Chains A and B, each alone.
Chain A
């Protein structure tokens, strides 16, 4: 039995900005080792876990792709012991002043994002929201100590500790997309006790927030017959109430749009109904904004499904999720995978 909160908190304590995923990957290697038959690392750092199916070889392959990389910042300059920085992934500069961070220098350094007074900035740059290029990280060390410990290109993670809220809600940074990795872990755990004929390739992908790099490359080597991409989606909350946001804690999102194969969508919808797992149709009229944009067009093309775990305050250090939805996503994936028969692929057709 996986302790979901403990698993999540372990993951959230690990750094792993896009392109620098090794800390989170090590933790996942440990978590997935007992749940998979083989573990490997792609050439650019995605973690590949294979859980073999019980069908006769050659077996079909289903890919679960959940990105493990985090958004954060990177040092671009050092001035009088203060660090200038840029973003890794998309961050609204208006949420930054006053955030606690960890600078991954020669050793990890605690720091805080600071906003210089307006009179220190050119023109009216200090009047409105202050652009990222004018902000600093202060690690509290004197300049000579900073010069020794920090170099240009060092990464900076959010340091916000996870917070348990009421009603099985959890807040913290990098829930995007560690909650989906956790759902994948739950799925693998559930499959331990079930018969599945297909091979299951669980991939914790790298670099989603920057280049979709993991999702462009891992499927090329694995060549799955079907792919399930799991990521967070918008939950309704302050400022996000329109059709793009799903109710919070009331079920998983089933992606619907050009990135998704409709027959695979139908499979998930039927299974969710059968198991009475609450879900919402998550509309993606053009692109899904997930790894599926990449996975779908690898090599000769891969039929994709996109699962979403509704998340509030995306790309802030207090992203908030309902644990119920993580469990639902894990259970739904396991149920669909257990049902994949040797001839299922023939039924994943565009017509008929």
Chain B
């Protein structure tokens, strides 16, 4: 048994130096879907003193519970995925260069000329590109196909890398003014948020925190986590793209921005995996309004979060998603605003504090 740190229920979590430091550690760690080892270690270390119960399940999810106090506590599952998009080494060629494939959705145009880290030791390597001198104008009109690219770790890499090893972009975390610049903000922002919420759980609920695996390859960890927790309701905490750049034609309006930076946490009304429970959408919107926390609706459309798996488990689990907006998701360099993250944490903490059994006592309705 470990000793639990007692925190007062009303204490509101803030984003300060230690939270940023934790996020930095999380973002710089490697956790390609199926090999979330390094992120899991950080999570386990962070939550061991605050959670009442922690287990690592068959897929590698970290399932942490913190019980509230009082009668009729609602069992609330929060899910944030530990895994990130990346690469797997699939073949060593005779020239000591490594063939690789993408894991998760990465645009192949993002690959050429990028530094990477390979394997659990994080060995440095590069994805090169053919010198422009040796390309033709016609060739440059086509994408550089991933199959033409290799990871190069130098001629004496020997047996230190083998097929099956994972790799990620090597981008290091940085704060630039009001922004965070890092790889894997999707979804280490969610992971960091969940850790803070575990440390500051409102008393009226049981918090069932799932740090999930394999989200990027099909929401797989969340499904079994939800089955194990069997919660009353669930919130997926994720990061979602902000395509809020200007339209090339200045006269044209960008009407497909998905979300915008500086507009606060993004609440989902529909993606391809989930039509969130409207009771929970309203709960979040009203919380934001009452508490004066900025928030935005994520434009309905594509994409999906862990909620897509969770809500279909067992007899159905009312679910919603909240994301921190980030630019350049699924590339080497993501960019988010510290304020959006802080407001996401604030919104979730405040909303969790307002939950009563009445929230789910009415039938699922529209608005």
A and B touch in the complex (CB under 8 A): yes
Point out residues on A near B: beta carbons under 8 Å: 242-243, 256-259, 261-262, 281, 283, 285-287, 296-303, 349-351
Taken together as a complex, chains A and B put the C-alpha atoms of A261 and B88 apart, in Å, by 16
Point out residues on B near A: beta carbons under 8 Å: 33-35, 37, 40-41, 44, 56-61, 88, 90-91, 99, 101-104, 163-164, 213-214, 217-218, 220, 223-224, 227-228
Taken together as a complex, chains A and B put the C-alpha atoms of A349 and B58 apart, in Å, by 8
Taken together as a complex, chains A and B put the C-alpha atoms of A301 and B90 apart, in Å, by 27
Taken together as a complex, chains A and B put the C-alpha atoms of A349 and B60 apart, in Å, by 8
Please determine whether A296 and B90 come into contact, CB atoms closer than 8 angstroms: no
CB-defined contacts of B41 to chain A, threshold 8 Å: 351
Please determine whether B214 and A258 come into contact, CB atoms closer than 8 angstroms: yes
Please determine whether B57 and A297 come into contact, CB atoms closer than 8 angstroms: no
- Smallest Cβ-Cβ distance to A304: which chain B residue: B58
A243-B90, A297-B223 are known contacts. Are A351 and B56 too (CB-CB below 8 A)?
yes
Please determine whether A301 and B34 come into contact, CB atoms closer than 8 angstroms: no
**Given A243-B91, A301-B58, A303-B58, 14 other A-B residues pairs in contact with their CB atoms under 8 A:** A243-B99, A257-B34, A257-B88, A258-B33, A258-B34, A258-B35, A285-B103, A286-B103, A286-B104, A286-B217, A287-B217, A297-B223, A300-B224, A301-B227
A349 to chain B, nearest CB (A): 7
Please determine whether B164 and A350 come into contact, CB atoms closer than 8 angstroms: no
15 contacts between A and B (CB under 8 A): A243-B90, A258-B33, A281-B164, A285-B90, A286-B103, A286-B104, A287-B218, A297-B59, A299-B224, A300-B57, A300-B224, A301-B57, A301-B58, A351-B40, A351-B56
A297-B224, A300-B224 are known contacts. Are A283 and B56 too (CB-CB below 8 A)?
no
CB-defined contacts of A349 to chain B, threshold 8 Å: 56
CB-defined contacts of B213 to chain A, threshold 8 Å: 258
- Smallest Cβ-Cβ distance to B99: which chain A residue: A243
Cβ contact of B40, chosen from A281, A287, A296, A350, cutoff 8 A: A350
Taken together as a complex, chains A and B put the C-alpha atoms of A350 and B120 apart, in Å, by 14
Taken together as a complex, chains A and B put the C-alpha atoms of A188 and B198 apart, in Å, by 48
Please determine whether B60 and A350 come into contact, CB atoms closer than 8 angstroms: yes
CB-defined contacts of B37 to chain A, threshold 8 Å: 350-351
Please determine whether B220 and A283 come into contact, CB atoms closer than 8 angstroms: no
B358 to chain A, nearest CB (A): 30
Residue of B37, B56, B60, B91 contacting most chain A CB atoms (<10 Å): B60
A24 to chain B, nearest CB (A): 30
